[in-house]
């Protein structure tokens, strides 16, 4: 069945020309000339994608988008803002409101089609009334990624390890960020700006189940399942909801062969509990004296507090070359532990990955840095 696209614009020429372009490419098109009409269509006959103009006669596009995101039935509906407003501030406002992409009029037909295909290709959301994919009964491997302090590369390692496993094995892979208030995965993976983790943490603990968690997962273009957290700083207090984090992690481990959780910096009580459930734990550091000193403190606390820790690996992320960085032998002596792997610098690759909103292992698989992530993915799938 052809994918359905709703075009919302009060300009008749835009509705006709864009609608004809999409129909010729095999899409089913519906149109709306007002915001209220658009909301009614979404409620009665949901499309797979909305092309939404900002300047509308009743509700403007941003208000329509806010209402779509506030409604559970359309919370994850992909939306591309399509507007003549071309200032950077307009684009930022649209993306922060929850748009998946922003196109400026006039747009070349080839670019419009490419953006539409990209969004539809990476947005896999359970249609209303359709049951989610059954949850596997077996338990997958759980990998926790953390560091002594922020800025060490925890999210980079988590994202690329999960993506490498998915690309290499085509096995079911799940990536979650247990970092309310500082969610970043939506930007790195080109996914909708959602706060699904935060919604679960605010819910009644009894309502958290494999089904409720599974319904909130989104997929990127390679089929990586993702549980997203809110980037709003005011949500940071939700880190205190320890019992809910445990229920969520228990549910996740039955949904994929490999589950990678971005635990962020430090060792709060909730991280202690999650780490004890992990089959593998990756402690991220960098070859700078202060980082190594703090990492040693973290390793000591893990050894004292976290009983039954299966396998712990120190992963060194070297983001740039510098003569005054500590050598590997000195680092291992100070840590009192072997460094399992050093990820080499790849600044240009990292910048390109950020620009494309893709993991760097998808941008250029053959690079030295990318190959290290494939080896790391292999490491964490071995028996503990």
Q: 167-178, pLDDT tens digit by residue? A: 998 888 999 999
- Predicted confidence (pLDDT) per residue in 52-67, tens digit: 999 888 888 898 998 8
Distance CA 132, CA 381 (A): 26
Residue 127, burial from CB neighbour count under 10 angstroms (0-12, 13-18, 19+): exposed
Distance CA 85, CA 367 (A): 39
Would you say the CATH fold of 141-380 matches that of 4-122?
A: yes
Question: Are the C-beta atoms of 91 and 56 separated by less than 8 Å?
Answer: no
Distance CA 374, CA 384 (A): 18
Question: Are the C-beta atoms of 128 and 110 separated by less than 8 Å?
Answer: no
- Going by the DSSP 8-state scheme, the letter that residue 233 receives in this structure is G
Spans of all domains in the chain: 4-122, 141-380
User: Which tokens belong to 311?
Assistant: 């396998």
Q: pLDDT band at residue 133, thresholds of 50, 70 and 90? A: very low
Mean of per-residue pLDDT scores for the chain = 87
| CATH number at 4-122 | 3.40.50.2300
Angle formed by the axes of helices 61-70 and 35-44, nearest 10°: 30
User: Which tokens belong to 256?
Assistant: 């994929």
Distance CA 129, CA 209 (A): 19
Instruction: Give the β-pairing of 141-147 and 79-83.
Output: unpaired
- Predicted confidence (pLDDT) per residue in 340-384, tens digit: 999 998 888 889 988 888 999 999 889 999 999 999 999 998 765
Whether 124 has a pLDDT exceeding 50, the answer reads no
- Predicted confidence (pLDDT) per residue in 290-338, tens digit: 999 999 999 999 988 776 666 899 999 988 776 668 889 999 999 999 9
Return the minimum-mean-pLDDT range out of 31-45, 80-94, 125-139, 191-205.
Answer: 125-139
* 141-380 is a CATH 3.40.50.1240 domain: no
**How many CB atoms are located within 10 Å of the residue 304 CB?**
8
pTM for the structure as a whole: 0.66
**How many CB atoms are located within 10 Å of the residue 290 CB?**
10
Can you spell out the DSSP letters for 40-101? HHHHHS--SEEEE-S--SSS-HHHHHHHHHHSTTTTT--EEEEES---HHHHHHHHHHT-SE
């Amino acid at each position: 069945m052809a994918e359905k696209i709703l075009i919302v614009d009060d300009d008749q020429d835009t509705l006709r020309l864009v609608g004809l372009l999409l129909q010729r490419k095999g899409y089913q098109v519906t149109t709306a000339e007002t915001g209220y009409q658009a909301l009614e269509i979404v409620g009665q006959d949901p499309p797979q994608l909305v092309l939404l103009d900002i300047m509308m006669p009743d509700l403007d596009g941003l208000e329509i988008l806010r209402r779509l995101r506030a409604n559970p039935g359309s919370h994850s509906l992909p939306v591309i803002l399509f507007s003549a407003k071309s200032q950077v501030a307009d684009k930022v406002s649209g993306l922060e409101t929850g748009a998946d992409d922003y196109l400026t009029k006039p747009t070349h037909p080839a670019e419009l089609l490419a953006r539409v295909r990209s969004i539809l290709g990476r947005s896999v959301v359970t249609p209303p009334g359709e049951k989610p994919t059954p949850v596997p009964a077996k338990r997958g491997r759980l990998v926790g990624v953390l560091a002594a302090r922020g800025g060490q590369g925890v999210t980079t390692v988590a994202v690329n390890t999960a993506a490498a496993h998915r690309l290499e094995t085509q096995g079911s892979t799940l990536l979650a960020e247990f970092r309310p208030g500082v969610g970043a995965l939506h930007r790195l993976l080109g996914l909708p700006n959602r706060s699904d983790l935060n919604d679960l943490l605010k819910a009644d603990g009894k309502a958290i189940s494999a089904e409720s968690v599974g319904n909130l997962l989104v997929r990127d273009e390679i089929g990586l399942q993702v549980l997203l957290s809110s980037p709003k700083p005011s949500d940071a207090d939700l880190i205190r909801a320890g019992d809910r984090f445990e229920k969520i992690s228990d549910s996740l481990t039955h949904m994929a062969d490999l589950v990678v959780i971005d635990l962020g910096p430090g060792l709060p009580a909730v991280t202690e509990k999650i780490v004890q459930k992990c089959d593998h734990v990756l402690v991220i550091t960098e070859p700078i004296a202060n980082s190594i000193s703090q990492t040693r403190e973290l390793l000591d606390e893990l050894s004292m507090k976290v009983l039954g820790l299966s396998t712990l690996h120190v992963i060194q992320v070297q983001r740039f070359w510098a003569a005054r960085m500590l050598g590997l032998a000195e680092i291992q002596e100070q840590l009192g532990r072997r460094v399992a792997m050093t990820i080499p610098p790849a600044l240009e690759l990292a910048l390109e990955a950020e620009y494309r909103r893709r993991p760097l292992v998808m941008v250029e698989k053959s690079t030295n840095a990318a190959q290290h992530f494939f080896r790391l993915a292999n490491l964490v799938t071995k028996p503990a």
